[in-house]
Chains A and B, each alone.
Chain A
């Protein structure tokens, strides 16, 4: 076995000064950033009135609440809860479907390969962005003012806030589509609508279907909370039971939500694989 020559450290130091003598600024950059982040964290704790005493008292209280939650028990209102759960699922399904139907044409306008002109695309994109900037709960509040309390306001709230999200996601899917098929349609004499119908839609439909299914799933969660402001569904029951401190019913309702979300998760997973095959959804 031959011995390796000893490394010539003086020479190496000369050749790679960055490795051996990193300037102080780059050595301190990461600790300084971490320290800064931690500083803001502590400042936040002080500013938001955290104190060990409050924390202990709250945890004690939380312990009691958890004790009172066991065992979960719906009492005599199980039928009402099942109806509310059905309402929640309906809100999620209808809201997402409405959003997808309205978002598809608008997303064409926001896609670079359909509308090349920046002047037309920019306002559409900003419009979608500002819709997304407002939370679903706020939209629910607005719609309650318009169509009154009840699940219909919830459907409209989910439809509007998802419209913004879908518009963006669909337009990204369209921009990622392959140009060649569109060019093929044009070469055989098709007009713009033909290009979209036969060149683009077959490519983007599976992607879009996957996204819609994913949103139905995540909207089941959102639909459970819009009831808190009065827009129907199981959230309404949940908020009421929390306010009157019926902890056993609360834990039962939370369990119901968990089971429903898991079920929808499973179903939409199956459907997604049936539509797009076994590959990752982007």
Chain B
């Protein structure tokens, strides 16, 4: 079967083609300009960050050999040939890993409780007063923009060295991050139950308790588990500034060139993070069905 493809007459076609070419040319020009600006910014940034491809090429061998060195025991053998020697400090490291997880657990839970208390004041539909909402929002913004490790640096001076500073730093950061996510969930609820409870003459707290909380509890729990996962990673570096956990050991090992210790501790951290990821993923799947796993 033959199909006739209808062709427009030459004149009409020329007009259409012209318009098409013009549109494409305009788009290309914009794209070229944007790319040029982007590259200019990149070059300025490269100068600002003292990027030196020469150093990189010269030293990239170091990067590869670093992994070679951390995979070698002091005796010169490969680490996996003598696991006992490689993980010689496993008892101490496991205890510190436990402390790391505990730091992030206590920090996350305390942060979640505070965020739970604050977020109803920050959500547009439940906030009792506009000025209160504004104040709480700014407070939470401050809490999440300042990195947790900066809080840890300051708290180490105020509360002394140790895991307490780490817990408080993680708590403050979690209040900011969770408070925002919680209040976004609250803003998306169905308002009819709230009106129903309100119409019975209930107070603000009763409205929150009986109309809002049942709708949002699942979402809150899901975000809290996700935050716990993130905080385990965060807690693993808290020790860099003296705020407890496994980080202290790691930074000492890196700085003093205890190569096989570096790989042992790194491996333990990676495995722990994996297990926590899988565990919280499983818990979220169990609690809220498959689609809640994002």
Residues of A within 8 A of B (CB): 37, 40-41, 44-45, 47-50, 54-55, 57-59, 61-62, 65, 86-87, 89-91, 93-94, 97, 129-130, 133-135, 137-138, 141-143, 145-148, 150-152, 154-156, 221-222, 224-225, 228-229, 232, 235, 238-239, 242, 245, 250, 254, 257-258, 261-262
Contact = CB atoms under 8 A, between A and B. Distances in A.
Contacts, number: 163
Interface in B33-67: 41-42, 44-52, 55-56, 59-60, 62-63, 66
B270 interface: yes
Most chain-A CB neighbours within 10 Å: which of B109, B158, B270, B274? B158
Nearest to B98: A47
10 contacts: A50-B167, A61-B158, A65-B157, A133-B274, A137-B237, A138-B269, A141-B250, A142-B63, A142-B66, A242-B153
B191 interface: no
Given A41-B109, A47-B102, A145-B62, A133 B273 contact: yes
B105 interface: yes
Contact of B51 (A143, A152, A224, A262): A152
A135 B197 CA distance: 47
A58 B55 contact: no
Nearest to B48: A90
Contacts of B66: 142, 145-146
Given A49-B163, A93-B41, A142-B66, 11 more contacts: A41-B109, A94-B46, A133-B273, A135-B234, A138-B236, A141-B250, A148-B55, A151-B49, A152-B56, A155-B49, A225-B149
Contact of B50 (A55, A65, A150, A238): A150
B155 interface: yes
Interface stretch (B10-18, B20-28, B139-147): B139-147
B164 interface: yes
B102 A254 contact: no
B240 A137 contact: yes
B222 to A, nearest CB: 15
Given A49-B164, A65-B157, A242-B154, A258 B50 contact: no
Contact of B102 (A44, A57, A87, A239): A44
Contact of A147 (B55, B105, B142): B55
B245 to A, nearest CB: 10
B147 A142 contact: no
Given A61-B159, A134-B266, A89 B45 contact: yes
B198 interface: no
B154 A94 contact: no
A239 B150 CA distance: 8
A133 B270 contact: yes
A225 B149 CA distance: 7
Contact of A155 (B51, B63, B155): B51
Contacts of A58: 155, 158-160, 164
Contacts of A152: 49-52, 55-56
**What interface size band does chain B fall in?**
35 or more
B281 interface: no
Contacts of A89: 45, 48
Given A134-B270, A145-B66, A254-B150, A94 B158 contact: no
B179 interface: no
B49 A154 contact: yes
B140 to A, nearest CB: 13
A54 B165 CA distance: 11
A223 B233 CA distance: 17
Contacts of A55: 159
A54 B160 CA distance: 9
B85 interface: no
Interface string B173-192: 00000000000000000000
Contacts of A147: 55-56, 59, 62
Contacts of B105: 40-41, 44
A61 to B, nearest CB: 4
Contacts of B147: 221-222, 224-225
A130 B233 CA distance: 12
B150 A45 contact: no
A145 B67 CA distance: 11
A55 B158 CA distance: 10
Contacts of B249: none
B51 A94 contact: yes
Contacts of A90: 44-49
B158 A228 contact: no
B251 A141 contact: yes
B41 A138 contact: no
B213 interface: no
A262 B138 CA distance: 12
6 closest A-B pairs by CB = A58-B159, A90-B45, A90-B48, A90-B49, A44-B106, A61-B158
